[in-house]
Structure 1
Amino acid sequence: MSIFSKVMRPRNGAAWVTGASGGIGRAVVKRLAQKGWTVHATARSEDELKALAAEAPDGKVIPTPGDVTDLARMKEIVSEITAQGPLALALLNAGIYTPMRANDFDAETAAKMWRVNLEGVSNCTDPVLKAMITQGDGHLAITASVAGYRGLPDAAVYSGTKAALIAYCEALAMDCVDLGIRVSVVNPGFVETEATSVNEFEMPFLMKPDEAAKRIVDGLASPGFEVAFPTRFELILKTIGLLPNRAYITAVRKATGWDGKAGRSTS
């Protein structure tokens, strides 16, 4: 049986979700809990995690506050989880998005996205892999984005972090085949969250967090490497992405309305 056919169930152990206080992460935690999982939910705000736990079936969501940029805390959290039993499923979902065009480029803003979206994932991957390798079992999933297929305007840094995560998951999947660990990448399209509320353009195929959570949880419970949605948007972006560089850049500028538009400035 292919490692990508492995499906972890609540009977196999607990789940861990980062970025759990809002948006996709919050909705995924609630859906997993409804499916019978015991979910350790991580975000920086303990109060928001407690409120989330109160909305879930009794005892199914365990608030586990922490900042993904804190490696020591991430190791501590995984140790706390595995002290109670196996860690069967980890969804590393924490991420931030700040739109930023070339004329607005700011290294400090960029650094925050690199730190959370990449270093934060790395900080969580370390203890998760160690635990799952010891168990000889487990499913590691990481939330990237369809924005990582190729670069998009207003999102040089964000697209860069998500492209890196897609390649990161591909490489980890190759390494983990012989370790009994399934690796998945989750590539959502536009989801109605606090992060996307700052976008100044019409977002095609925009969906609610609950629908995105259903797609993710169902996808992780099915064979395969990538969980991507909405399907039509995924296919459009993958098809456009096959264009040569010059044609791709021209097509995306026209499609997004940036062609001929003066650079937006936040100043």
Structure 2
Amino acid sequence: MSLNKQISDWQGRRVWLVGASTGIGLACAQALRAAGAQVVVSARKPQGVLAWAAQDAGVQWRPLDVCDGPQVQETAQALLAEGPLDMVVYAAGCYQAQRATAMDLADMLQHDKVNYQGALQVIHAVLPSMLARHSGHISVLSSVAGWRGLPNGLAYGPTKAALTHLAETLYIDLQDQGIGVSVVNPGFVATPLTAQNQFTMPALISPEEAAREMLKGWAQGQFDIHFPKRFTLWLKLLRLLPYRLYFPLVRRFTGL
């Protein structure tokens, strides 16, 4: 059963991807463009986007710091003045491994500003237009790291859990307004963020594979788009375990 309107034809659709200068966000932007969408890419730094945008009229680059509320509003209004946004994908992310034995409050608050508050800023800027049109789709890039508490996830995991909760509540509130909502929960993807991990990442996939899974999820009208299934389905089972079993199991398999 589809929870959202199925989107498989991207021709003429306009998509704003926030936090898409590298990794999953950029791969998704490129996949959407290849499928025929008009894409707008925003991030703090252009990295590999400028050369791409310069040679393709269907790609726009708009610099954006998601922590700057007025700039988010200004950028969104400028984009909406050029036409409606059919989808907004929030892919901005901050990740540093952290444990409570070396708690860094400033780092934790920065994770919150980028991963969660930034999403609120962007959604707040685009939602009135979607509500007025009774059309559009909001997709937020969360993580399986937000499903349950994990070692080294003190700063990152709670923000992703908040994003998933936000998406669930948005869906409940907006499903009868003609607005789609989805949450993307990747496992390990080879990106600049995960490159800092000092352990073997199981079922590691490329950003391009992640992008294909996202488009597949939207085509099927999914709310919870998670991948790769060979990894995420096991994690979904772990979510069902009582704490008295879950905590010892995590210690055993992580050694932490």
- Return the TM-score normalized by structure 2: 0.95
CA distance in 1, matches of 2:152, 2:35: 37
Question: What is the alpha-carbon distance in structure 1 between the residues aligned to residue 215 and residue 50 of structure 2?
Answer: 22
Give the distance between the partners of 1:103 and 1:34, measured in 2 at CA: 46
Matched-pair contact (CA < 8 Å) for 1:16–1:90? yes
Q: Distance in 2 between matches of 1:2 and 1:236?
A: 23
What are the ranges of 5 or more consecutive residues in structure 2 without an aligned counterpart?
none
Q: CA deviation at 1:246?
A: 2.3
Is it true that 1:82 corresponds to 2:80 in the alignment? yes
> What does residue range 110-125 of structure 1 map to in structure 2 within 5 Å?
110-125=108-123
The aligned residue for residue 25 of structure 1 is 25
Look up the SS of the partner of 1:95 in the other structure.
coil
How far is 1:139 from its partner? 0.7
Equivalent residues, number = 256
Aligned counterparts of 1:146 and 1:2: Cα–Cα separation in 2: 21
CA distance in 1, matches of 2:35, 2:8: 12
The SS at the match of 2:225 is: strand
TM-score by length of structure 1 reads 0.91
Give the counterpart letter for 2:36 in structure 1. G
| 1:7 counterpart residue number | 7
Moved more, 11-20 or 196-205: 11-20
Query: Partners in 1 of 2:190 and 2:207 — Cα distance?
Result: 6
| 1:58 shift after superposition | 1.8
Maintained 8 Å contact 1:26/1:52: no
Match of residue 262 from structure 1: none
- The 8 Å contact of residues 13 and 85 in structure 1, kept in 2 or not, is answered as no
Q: Secondary structure at the match of 1:64?
A: strand
Bigger CA drift: 248-257 or 88-97? 248-257
- How far apart are the structure 2 equivalents of 1:114 and 1:209? 24
Cα offsets for 1:139-193 (capped at 9, x unmatched): 1100000111111111122111111111110000000012110000000000001
SS at match of 2:137: strand
Shift of 1:48: 4.2
**Residue pairs, 1:59-98, within 5 angstroms:** 59-98=57-96
- SS in structure 2 opposite 1:15? strand
Q: Is the 8 A contact 1:186 1:227 kept in 2?
A: yes
3-state secondary structure, aligned to 1:4: coil
Aligned-residue Cα RMSD (Å) equals 1.7
CA 1:194–1:81: 2 relative to 1, 3 Å: same
**TM alignment of 1:72-221, pairs within 5 A:** 72-221=70-219
Unpaired runs of 5+ in structure 1? 259-267
1:195-250 per-position Cα deviation (integer Å, ceiling 9, x unaligned): 11111111100011111111112212221211100112111111111111121111
Cα offset, 1:3, TM superposition: 5.7
Q: Percent identity?
A: 40
DSSP-derived class of the 1:150 partner:
coil
Work out whether residues 17 and 40 of structure 1, in 8 Å CA contact, stay in contact via their aligned partners in 2.
yes
